Amino acid sequence: MKVERVELRVVELPLVEPFETSFGREEVRPCILIKAQGDGLTGWGECVAGAGPWYSYETIETAWHVLKDFLIPLALGKAWDHPEEVSREWERVRGHPMAKAGLEAALWDLWARSRGISLKEALGGVKERVESGISLGIQPSVDDLLRKVERALEQGYRRIKVKIKPGWDVEVVKALRERFGEIPLMVDANAAYTLDDRPTLQALDAFGLMMIEQPFRYDDLVDHARLQRQLRTPVCLDESVKSPEDARQALKLGSCRIINIKPGRVGGPSAARAIHDLCVREGVPVWCGGMLETGIGRTHNVALASLPGFTLPNDLSASRRYYRQDLVEPPFELHDDGTLSVPSGPGLGVEVVEERVERATVRREVFP
Ligand code: NPQ
Ligand code: MG
């Protein structure tokens, strides 16, 4: 295979409703789409960096810069037999896993198409359907949240995740337990707490949550290990795991008992699969997180979540949970049993609707 042409775009899609976390509120989701072409084939990837450095230090601007000036030049015109041969060249580029992940995803799509297999097969997936959970942002009131949870349960979502922050935590979880009983429930703090907040986290420990996601700093492993020793509830790491090496250290230190794997955060499908394999060996359950991806990133995530170690419900919701009109056809729909189908056609296995991509584009550049 050889990549002869790469097209970068920034697209902006309006969210059906604002999404609020402990780090901010999003109404429009901009992202970078990567289209890689070679051998008469096209592969698509999505970079999950946001407009500002809130979830991670990476932004649309830093990812564009690193893609344009370092990653794309290393990928163009080289002969390769597997995407990992190309991404190994990028190890010299320190950090910037989101930029790397978007381009690597496009190469995996291209490679799978060249072999006439699906991304699921390319990655070693085994599931035809993946379990779907929903992630609910911070709401104006507890009543609003109760209504949202009720609707999500009616729709069939297999697990409810609610965002928490200081002042929106114990009372919220208490209200959910009182109203809905023993539903599969978890919380995600997006790094909003410190060791001083242990009384709050101890209080949450009483509610039988499936896990508490990323309570402490975005790069912490040490305080999380201390917390995990004091809680019955599993700690799940998200932001703190940006590479397979972070995952190895987290497990070694006992910083968590569950890992949320997002290919877009950890450097791409290869790194995501390496973390999955490590966790399977260590008996640590994993699930696939989400970054409000369009259908392109969502399809890559769904393929990854078909690997056998993804035993917990994923943050992979139906397309219309986030976007009125997705960029792919068919859009992802929730089955009655709370799952999404894993596409089985070559590559992504869904059609990227280029005219919708074009309409959403606010910036575009072609290489070389
Ligand atoms: C999480 N996602 O698990 C993330 C947080 C998140 C579905 O809960 C722009 C950039 C918007 C990054 C929204 C979910 C974002 C973002 C949410 C990250 O922590
Ligand atoms: Mg998270």
Residues with CB in 5 Å of ion ligand 2: 188, 213, 238
Q: What is the pLDDT of residue 354?
A: 97
* Residue closest to 288 by CA, chosen among 310, 319, 258, 318: 310
Residue nearest to atom 10 of ligand 1 (CA): 50
- Rounded mean pLDDT, 176-202: 98
The amino acid at residue 307 is L
Tens digit of each residue's pLDDT (9 = 90 or more) over 270-296 = 999 999 999 999 999 999 999 999 999
Q: What is the pLDDT of residue 33?
A: 98
User: How do the residues of the chain divide into helix, strand and coil, expressed in percent and rounded to 5?
Assistant: 40, 25, 35
Cα separation, 313 vs 303, whole angstroms: 14
Which of 12, 19, 61, 294 to mutate to test ligand 1, by most ligand atoms within 8 A of the CB atom? 19
Q: What is the pLDDT of residue 82?
A: 97
246 — phi, psi (to 5°)?
A: -60, -40
- Rounded mean pLDDT, 112-140: 98
Centroid of ligand 1 to alpha carbon of 332 (angstroms): 19
Proximal ligand: closest to the CA of 259: 2
Are 13 and 276 in contact, with CB atoms under 8 Å apart? no
Ligand 1 pocket residue status of 22, Cβ below 6 Å: no
- Rounded mean pLDDT, 330-355: 97
- Rounded mean pLDDT, 240-268: 98
Q: What is the pLDDT of residue 264?
A: 98
Name the band, by pLDDT with cuts 50, 70 and 90, for residue 40: very high
Q: What is the pLDDT of residue 52?
A: 96
Residues 6+ apart with CB under 8 A from 251: 278, 279, 282, 284
Strand pairing class (351-352; 328-329)? antiparallel
Residue nearest to atom 4 of ligand 1 (CA): 291
Ligand 1 pocket residue status of 290, Cβ below 6 Å: yes
Q: Any catalytic annotation for residue 174?
A: no
Cα separation, 287 vs 325, whole angstroms: 26
Hunting for tokens 């009109």 — which residue is that?
325
| Angle, helix 269-282 to helix 97-114, in steps of 10 degrees | 90
- Rounded mean pLDDT, 79-105: 96
Centroid of ligand 1 to alpha carbon of 291 (angstroms): 5
CATH 3.20.20.120 fits 121-341, yes or no: yes
Q: What is the pLDDT of residue 102?
A: 98
Are 314 and 142 in contact, with CB atoms under 8 Å apart? no
Name the band, by pLDDT with cuts 50, 70 and 90, for residue 199: very high
Burial letters 81-102, b for 16+ CB under 10 A, else e: eebbebbeebeeeeebbbbbbb
Cα separation, 345 vs 35, whole angstroms: 18
By the 10 Å C-beta count (0-12 exposed, 13-18 middle, 19+ buried), 336 is classed as: exposed
Atom of ligand 1 nearest to the CA of 21: 17
Q: What is the pLDDT of residue 120?
A: 98
Centroid of ligand 2 to alpha carbon of 214 (angstroms): 6
Enter the pTM of the model. 0.97
Q: Any catalytic annotation for residue 163?
A: yes
Residues 6+ apart with CB under 8 A from 107: 3, 36, 43, 45, 75, 83, 86, 87
- Rounded mean pLDDT, 47-56: 97
Q: What is the pLDDT of residue 364?
A: 98
Helix (H, G, I), strand (E, B) or coil at 66: helix
Cα separation, 252 vs 148, whole angstroms: 38
A 10 A CB-CB count for 231 gives 18
Ligand 1 pocket residue status of 289, Cβ below 6 Å: yes
What does each C-alpha distance from 296 to 85, 251, 354, 357 come to in angstroms?
A: 23, 31, 12, 11
Residue nearest to atom 9 of ligand 1 (CA): 50
Proximal ligand: closest to the CA of 19: 1
Tens digit of each residue's pLDDT (9 = 90 or more) over 147-167 = 999 999 999 999 999 999 999
The amino acid at residue 43 is G
Name the band, by pLDDT with cuts 50, 70 and 90, for residue 30: very high
Are 299 and 330 in contact, with CB atoms under 8 Å apart? no
| Angle, helix 142-155 to helix 170-180, in steps of 10 degrees | 50
As given in the structure block, the two tokens for residue 358 are 């074009």
Ligand 1 pocket residue status of 58, Cβ below 6 Å: no
As given in the structure block, the two tokens for residue 322 are 């986030």
21 — phi, psi (to 5°)?
A: -125, 180
Atom of ligand 1 nearest to the CA of 289: 3
Ligand 1 pocket residue status of 19, Cβ below 6 Å: yes
Atom of ligand 1 nearest to the CA of 239: 19
- Rounded mean pLDDT, 19-33: 95
Cα separation, 160 vs 321, whole angstroms: 14
Name the band, by pLDDT with cuts 50, 70 and 90, for residue 59: very high
Which of 13, 25, 26, 55 to mutate to test ligand 1, by most ligand atoms within 8 A of the CB atom? 55
Pick the CATH number of 5-116+351-367 from 3.30.70.260, 3.40.640.10, 3.40.630.10, 3.30.390.10: 3.30.390.10
Ligand 1 pocket residue status of 26, Cβ below 6 Å: yes
As given in the structure block, the two tokens for residue 166 are 């200081």
Residue nearest to atom 18 of ligand 1 (CA): 291
As given in the structure block, the two tokens for residue 312 are 């917990």
Residue nearest to atom 13 of ligand 1 (CA): 291
* Residue closest to 75 by CA, chosen among 47, 110, 112, 124: 110
Q: Where are the domains of the chain?
A: 5-116+351-367, 121-341
Q: What is the pLDDT of residue 22?
A: 94
What does each C-alpha distance from 222 to 9, 74, 197 come to in angstroms?
A: 38, 36, 15
As given in the structure block, the two tokens for residue 247 are 């995952």
Proximal ligand: closest to the CA of 137: 1
Tens digit of each residue's pLDDT (9 = 90 or more) over 209-221 = 999 999 999 999 9
Q: 163, 174, 242, 252: which is the annotated catalytic residue? A: 163
DSSP calls for 199-258:
HHHHHHGGG--S-EE--S-TT-SHHHHHHHHH-SSPEEESTT--SHHHHHHHHHHT--SE
The amino acid at residue 150 is E
